[in-house]
């Protein structure tokens, strides 16, 4: 069941892959993981390795795992058969990764992630529900950020472009269903979920082990 790599390492070139919104999303990655005060973190699907590099600068030890040796992960292995004992890592995370698997396989991957997590699993996933971001600066209060949904009669159908098999709030994958299916995979509870104001396509989930 191990999938083939979908993109070459050249996909992650700075000018092609990194943009300001993705940098903003990485801030939330670091914020959510650091709040958990982990001693050992596993990142599944590290891409260009930026999360590990930046986290290390702030004293967070991250090990990476991927099926593609070209990305030079610490561990070359399948997410469906993680070569670690139960609870081996305080936090296991995957950022914009699970949607690269068919939905049933993404659930199996999440189940394995919860097995090796001792404290929490942190995810980000694409959320296709369109929203318009706004910010208002109130004297004495500061900046208030919010977003307003764009009206849509029905959710769009997902059309794969060779990478994403599914996205939250596309037809068949409403947020409620995706959340419930993830919760059903292991002894976890949902601490919070939110969308990144600067990059509303990215939705975060923080699952705590029970």
- What is the model's pLDDT at position 22? 78
Domain count, the chain: 1
pLDDT tens profile 82-107:
999 999 999 999 999 999 999 999 99
Q: Smallest Cα–Cα separation from 148: which of 200, 109, 185?
A: 200
Given a contact cutoff of 8 angstroms between Cβ atoms, the answer to whether 182 and 207 are in contact is yes
E strands along 45-174, which residues? 62-66, 75-76, 89-95, 117-126, 131-138, 142-149
* 3 assigned to some structural domain: no
pLDDT more than 70, % of the chain: 91
pLDDT tens profile 114-161:
999 999 999 999 999 998 989 899 999 998 988 998 888 888 888 877
Distance CA 209, CA 90 (A): 10
- What is the model's pLDDT at position 19? 63
Residue 21 pLDDT > 90, yes or no?
A: no
Print the domain residue range for 30.
9-209
* 4 assigned to some structural domain: no
The CATH code of the domain that includes 148 is 3.40.50.150
**Higher pLDDT, residue 18 or 49:** 49
- What is the model's pLDDT at position 141? 92
Mean pLDDT of the residues in the chain: 91
Q: Smallest Cα–Cα separation from 74: which of 89, 85, 66, 64?
A: 64
Question: Within 142-193, where are the H helices?
Answer: 175-183
- What is the model's pLDDT at position 158? 86
The pLDDT-based confidence of 76 (bands split at 50, 70, 90) is very high
């Amino acid at each position: 069941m191990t999938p083939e790599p979908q993109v070459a390492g050249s996909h992650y070139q700075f000018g092609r892959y990194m943009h300001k919104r993705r940098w903003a999303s990485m801030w939330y990655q670091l914020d959510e993981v650091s709040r958990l005060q982990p001693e050992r973190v596993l990142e599944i699907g590290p891409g260009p390795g930026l999360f590990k590099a930046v986290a290390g600068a702030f004293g967070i030890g991250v090990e990476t795992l991927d099926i593609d040796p070209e990305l030079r992960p610490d561990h070359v292995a399948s997410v469906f058969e993680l070569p670690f004992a139960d609870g081996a890592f305080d936090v296991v995370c995957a950022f914009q990764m699970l949607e690269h698997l068919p939905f049933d396989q993404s659930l199996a991957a999440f189940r394995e992630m919860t097995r090796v997590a001792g404290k929490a699993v942190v995810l980000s996933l694409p959320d296709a529900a369109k929203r318009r971001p706004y910010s208002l600066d109130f004297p004495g209060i500061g900046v208030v950020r919010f977003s307003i949904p764009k009206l849509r009669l029905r959710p769009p159908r997902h059309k794969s472009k060779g990478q994403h098999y599914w996205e939250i709030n596309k037809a068949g994958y409403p947020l409620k269903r995706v959340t419930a299916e993830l919760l059903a995979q292991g002894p976890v509870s949902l601490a919070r979920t939110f969308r990144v104001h600067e990059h509303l396509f990215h939705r975060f989930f923080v699952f705590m082990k029970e």
